[in-house]
């Protein structure tokens, strides 16, 4: 059995003059992966996220999923996320429950010095805040990593598209996520340094653009 422990810190960076359309927050989490067999494994995670002012926790949640390796290139995962929103601003304040159901298909391939990764995910988000609100999204992520000979900081770039479905379905995407990252070896484990940009499209009436710095530390036992 293999245990993968991931500890990461995500800091959304923005100048004060960006306050109207930029978000500033911190996200920390720990996750584990347990192999049940050569093909099947379990994932779990606990996470905390601050509010825009960095002075309080705005949400915390746990996540669990089961994955199956269909082949050397394909794998599938299904899981659930459950947590609490701590809303301390606006007219409706309090602690509110939210959860997410998701299913995804992953693919990986390589060609010479390039590594390709893709993920297609369906997710259903439900938030209970003065009633129940549900949103469905289809997400597609594609990433390319370039392996540089005799270089430890191999760059990886990715872009992810968020397509609303169901009652909130519209033509096009309501969010795009860009990421630049590199994986470093630290004490026999992996340290990932990443920079994110979450950009809401005009389809989202409450547009917020987030600049994120991520630090991920993976331990194997």
- The residues spanned by each domain of the chain are 4-13+24-214
Do 32 and 44 form a contact (C-beta atoms < 8 A)? yes
Q: How far apart are the first and last CA of the chain?
A: 9
- What was the pLDDT predicted at 186? 74
HSE toward the beta carbon, residue 188, CA cutoff 13 A:
4
Residue with tokens 């994986």: 183
- What was the pLDDT predicted at 105? 98
- What was the pLDDT predicted at 103? 98
- What was the pLDDT predicted at 64? 94
Q: Is 115 helix (H, G, I), strand (E, B) or coil?
A: strand
Domain 4-13+24-214 falls under CATH 2.40.160.40: yes
Q: Digits of tens for pLDDT over the chain (221 positions)? A: 455 555 555 554 444 444 445 566 677 777 778 889 999 999 888 888 776 555 667 788 999 999 999 999 999 999 999 999 887 666 677 788 999 999 999 999 999 999 999 999 999 999 887 778 888 999 999 999 999 988 888 999 999 999 998 765 566 788 888 999 998 887 777 777 878 888 876 655 555 567 777 777 776 65
- What was the pLDDT predicted at 18? 44
Residue with tokens 């950009």: 199
- What was the pLDDT predicted at 13? 46
Q: What is the DSSP letter of 110?
A: E
- What was the pLDDT predicted at 220? 61
Residue with tokens 């192999």: 35
Q: Is 18 helix (H, G, I), strand (E, B) or coil?
A: helix
169-207: string of b/e by CB count within 10 Å (b at 16+)? eeeebbbebebebbbeeeeeebbbebebebebeebeeee
């Amino acid at each position: 059995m293999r245990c993968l422990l991931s500890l990461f810190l995500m800091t959304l960076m923005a100048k004060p003059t960006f306050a109207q359309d930029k978000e500033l927050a911190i996200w920390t989490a720990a996750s584990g992966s347990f192999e049940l067999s050569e093909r099947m494994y379990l994932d779990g995670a606990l996470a905390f996220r601050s509010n825009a002012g960095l002075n309080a926790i705005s949400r915390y949640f746990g996540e669990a999923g089961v994955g199956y390796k269909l082949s050397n290139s394909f794998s599938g995962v299904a899981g659930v996320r459950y947590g609490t929103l701590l809303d301390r601003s606006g007219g409706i304040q309090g602690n509110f429950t939210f959860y997410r159901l998701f299913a995804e298909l992953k693919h990986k391939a390589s060609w010479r010095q390039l590594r390709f990764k893709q993920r297609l995910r369906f997710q259903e988000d439900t938030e209970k805040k003065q009633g129940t609100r549900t949103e469905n999204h289809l997400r597609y992520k594609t990433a390319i990593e370039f392996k540089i000979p005799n270089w430890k900081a191999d760059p990886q770039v990715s872009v992810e598209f968020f397509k609303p479905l169901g009652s909130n379905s519209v033509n096009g995407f309501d969010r795009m996520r860009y990421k630049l990252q590199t994986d470093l070896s630290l004490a026999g484990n992996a340290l990932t340094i990443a920079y994110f940009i979450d950009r809401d499209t005009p389809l989202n009436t409450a547009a917020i653009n987030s600049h994120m710095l991520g630090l991920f530390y993976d331990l194997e036992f």
